[in-house]
Amino acid sequence: MNKEGSLSINSENIFPIIKKWLYSDHDIFFRELVSNGCDAVTKLKKLDMIGEYTIPEGKELCVKVTADAETKTITFTDNGIGMDANEIDQYINQIAFSGARDFLDKYKDKTNDDQIIGHFGLGFYSAFMVADRVTIDSLSYKEGAKAVHWESDEGTSFEMTDSAKTEIGTTITLYLNEDSYEFCNEYRAKEILDKYCSFMPIPIYFEAIKTAEEQARIDEAEKKAKEEEEKRKAEEAAKKAADGEAVEAETEAEPTEKAPEAPKPINETTPLWAKHPNECTDEEYKEFYHRVFHDYKEPLFWIHLNMDYPFNLKGILYFPKINTEYDSIEGTIKLYNNQVFVADNIKEVIPEFLMLLKGVIDCPDLPLNVSRSALQNDGFVKKISDYITKKVADRLTGMCKTKREDYEKFWDDINPFIKFGVLKDEKFAEKMNDYIIFKDLNGKYLTLPDILKENEEKHKNQVFYVTDEKEQSQYIEMFKKEGINAVLLKHNIDAPFITRLEQKNPDVKFVRIDSDLTDSFKEETSDEEKETLKKDSESLTALFHKALNNDKLTVKAEKLKDASMACVMTLSEEGRRMQEMMKMYGMSGMD
């Protein structure tokens, strides 16, 4: 057989996607070629299931990737379904003719399609982003099939001949172009495989071949180490002999050839999220968390999403432990499509505030072959995003209702997240409104209505708060003495958050504990005293204006109940908020 031709192009709207790939992540070819191998294996398994083929007993179906730094090639070998000449013609030569789709159409009544990754017939061509020359050797599972060799130099014309391949399956070889040699480096290749293929559904093995030069260096070093060890032994023996000790007969057993360790696949074919929540233990959830997010701290708790209807979505969302004083909260949500990694933090699918969490979402139904902006306007994607938000809110409110103790215990860690969510997402806010709690000066947790009730008599509609317990300790003491309560609002998110609360509850006013000295701290004054205080205020103001060269200050003399307070500095709530805002926008304050 000998066939040549030019490749036909099947669809016009496919090139923007190729181009996009061409210009963005070049490493994506690993994902595409490995996932094609997985698909090929899955297809063969399905044929076995429906009785059209029998997989030989004891045969492990898998994908093997070899990165060869010496020859600058990468090969992808699978022992899946294989292709005959006609199929290569149809599936490979016709760009954008998706064999996956064809396969599904053909078998859609007999099997379910949820394991097949390829959808739009372009993956294979990503090989040409990094390789000048690509070859395929394939032997179809079909009885009497002849092995085929295909090769193409730039992806625009091809040649097909017979192949010497004897095992059913496909081997694809990429001869890397000079700009892409990095990809045959052992560590780089492994890193990319880990990124994209860690949870693919078929076992994947990885082998790296070093350059001859590198290998020679390693061999040389090993040889040297061995020689030195022998020299050391000989010297030791000579010394013992000289000391008159009996030289022990060489009893050391010949170093036994180590039994070759069974190579381990680089991936986990059934990731935790794909299991039913009832089948997963806390230990497994934690282990998965540490491994996938490289976070040695324990997660606080997690939500396992598992739904089949009206769309397919599985995943685990972890609430990380954060130290609000030091850590910036930065999560990662890894998005998968049928166990194939797509990307981190795709904001079109995952609500922004949820990206503060750490988690994985696998959604096979996602239309990932369309552009980002299309995703944004996609009603279906919006539904997914809303569903995730709803699940998270349900879990939180459920905990507050039935495990209030846990909720309070986690509150310090999760409150910035919840507040951010409330600010960012009206639907989430609606659900969470009644479950926002505030830690008071005694370490108790109160809701806004609780606080308002406490303050109803003397400080109607006021909520006092502390942002820094050390700095504001003097005021805290005063408040405690007077039996007035205040709540702690120490996170950056609290400023915009209370502004929102005030907008939603126009009567309510949040007042920082050092803002305006409330009347509770002032002693009743007679008319005469009032007159003195007024005079004192005027002379003090003049003095301060002169001393600080600032005529905007107000200084007030008041008679306080607590005589131990010689002087307290206060700044009105509005004034301080204004200053903070100016600081935020980089203007200098009016100090």
* 155 binding partner (options Mg ion, ligand ADP, none; Cβ < 5 to 8 Å by kind): none
Cα 398 to Cα 389: distance, rounded to the nearest angstrom: 14
Member of 21, 27, 31, 36 binding Mg ion (CB under 5 A): 36
Amino acid (1-letter code) at residue 209: I
The reply to whether 364 sits near ligand ADP by the rule CB under 6 A is: no
Amino acid (1-letter code) at residue 477: E
Q: Are 381 and 348 in contact (CB under 8 A)?
A: yes
The reply to whether 119 sits near ligand ADP by the rule CB under 6 A is: yes
Residue 99 annotated as binding? yes
| Residues pairing with 210 in the sheet | none
Place of tokens 């036909």: 8
Residue 83 annotated as binding? yes
Residue 78 annotated as binding? yes
The reply to whether 122 sits near ligand ADP by the rule CB under 6 A is: yes
Count of residues engaged in binding ligand ADP, rule: CB under 6 A: 21
The two structure tokens encoding residue 146: 């002849």
Task: Indicate the helix (H) or strand (E) that contains 474.
Answer: helix 473-482
The reply to whether 170 sits near Mg ion by the rule CB under 5 A is: no
Residues from 116 through 135 that contact Mg ion (CB under 5 A): 118, 123
Task: Spell out the residues 6+ positions from residue 112 whose beta carbon is closer than 8 angstroms to its own.
Answer: none
Stretch that binds Mg ion, among 114-122, 157-165, 310-318, 440-448 (CB under 5 A): 114-122
Cα 84 to Cα 90: distance, rounded to the nearest angstrom: 10
Least distance to ligand ADP, CB of residue 77, Å: 9
Place of tokens 């696949």: 265
Least distance to Mg ion, CB of residue 117, Å: 6
Cα 124 to Cα 290: distance, rounded to the nearest angstrom: 34
Rg, the chain, Cα only:
35
Cα 163 to Cα 139: distance, rounded to the nearest angstrom: 8
Residue 586 annotated as binding? no
Member of 27, 29, 31, 36 binding ligand ADP (CB under 6 A): 36
* 122 binding partner (options Mg ion, ligand ADP, none; Cβ < 5 to 8 Å by kind): ligand ADP
Tell me whether residue 127 or residue 333 sits nearer to ligand ADP (CB atom). Answer: 127
Residue 36 annotated as binding? yes
Member of 21, 29, 31, 40 binding ligand ADP (CB under 6 A): 40
Cα 440 to Cα 391: distance, rounded to the nearest angstrom: 29
The reply to whether 515 sits near Mg ion by the rule CB under 5 A is: no
Member of 83, 189, 193, 399 binding ligand ADP (CB under 6 A): 83
The reply to whether 78 sits near ligand ADP by the rule CB under 6 A is: yes
Tell me whether residue 82 or residue 118 sits nearer to Mg ion (CB atom). Answer: 118
Q: What are φ and ψ of residue 257, in 5° steps?
A: -60, 120
Tell me whether residue 40 or residue 130 sits nearer to ligand ADP (CB atom). Answer: 40
What's the DSSP call for residue 254? P
Residue 328 annotated as binding? no
Residue 372 annotated as binding? yes
Place of tokens 């002032």: 522
Least distance to ligand ADP, CB of residue 69, Å: 23
Least distance to ligand ADP, CB of residue 170, Å: 4
* 203 binding partner (options Mg ion, ligand ADP, none; Cβ < 5 to 8 Å by kind): none
Stretch that binds ligand ADP, among 30-38, 393-401, 502-510, 575-583 (CB under 6 A): 30-38
Tell me whether residue 98 or residue 385 sits nearer to ligand ADP (CB atom). Answer: 98
The two structure tokens encoding residue 204: 């994947």
Look at residue 459 and give its three-state secondary structure. coil
The reply to whether 34 sits near ligand ADP by the rule CB under 6 A is: no
The reply to whether 123 sits near ligand ADP by the rule CB under 6 A is: yes
Member of 163, 170, 472, 515 binding ligand ADP (CB under 6 A): 170
Cα 164 to Cα 307: distance, rounded to the nearest angstrom: 47
Cα 571 to Cα 575: distance, rounded to the nearest angstrom: 6
* 148 binding partner (options Mg ion, ligand ADP, none; Cβ < 5 to 8 Å by kind): none
Closest C-alpha to 89, from 41, 138, 42: 138
Q: DSSP letters along 355-377, please? A: GGSEEEEE-TT--TTS-HHHHHT
Stretch that binds Mg ion, among 113-121, 226-234, 364-372, 443-451 (CB under 5 A): 113-121
Closest C-alpha to 75, from 214, 174, 213, 218: 174
Tell me whether residue 35 or residue 163 sits nearer to Mg ion (CB atom). Answer: 35
Tell me whether residue 38 or residue 47 sits nearer to Mg ion (CB atom). Answer: 38
Q: Is the dihedral of CA 76, 77, 78, 82 positive or negative?
A: positive
Amino acid (1-letter code) at residue 171: T
* 364 binding partner (options ligand ADP, Mg ion, none; Cβ < 5 to 8 Å by kind): none
Residue 512 annotated as binding? no
Q: Are 320 and 297 in contact (CB under 8 A)?
A: yes
Closest C-alpha to 42, from 79, 69, 68: 79
Cα 541 to Cα 537: distance, rounded to the nearest angstrom: 6
Member of 44, 92, 350, 361 binding ligand ADP (CB under 6 A): 92
Q: Are 114 and 364 in contact (CB under 8 A)?
A: yes
* 62 binding partner (options Mg ion, ligand ADP, none; Cβ < 5 to 8 Å by kind): none
The reply to whether 331 sits near ligand ADP by the rule CB under 6 A is: no
Tell me whether residue 36 or residue 467 sits nearer to Mg ion (CB atom). Answer: 36
Member of 32, 84, 425, 494 binding ligand ADP (CB under 6 A): 32
> Cα dihedral angle (77, 67, 157, 144), rounded to 10 degrees?
-20
Residues from 428 through 447 that contact ligand ADP (CB under 6 A): none
Q: Beta-carbon neighbour count of residue 158 at 10 Å?
A: 21
The reply to whether 99 sits near Mg ion by the rule CB under 5 A is: no
Tell me whether residue 134 or residue 349 sits nearer to ligand ADP (CB atom). Answer: 134
List interacting residues with ligand ADP (CB under 6 A): 32, 36-37, 40, 78, 80-81, 83, 91-92, 98-100, 118-124, 170
Enumerate the known binding-site residues for ATP: 32, 36, 78, 83, 98-99, 170, 372
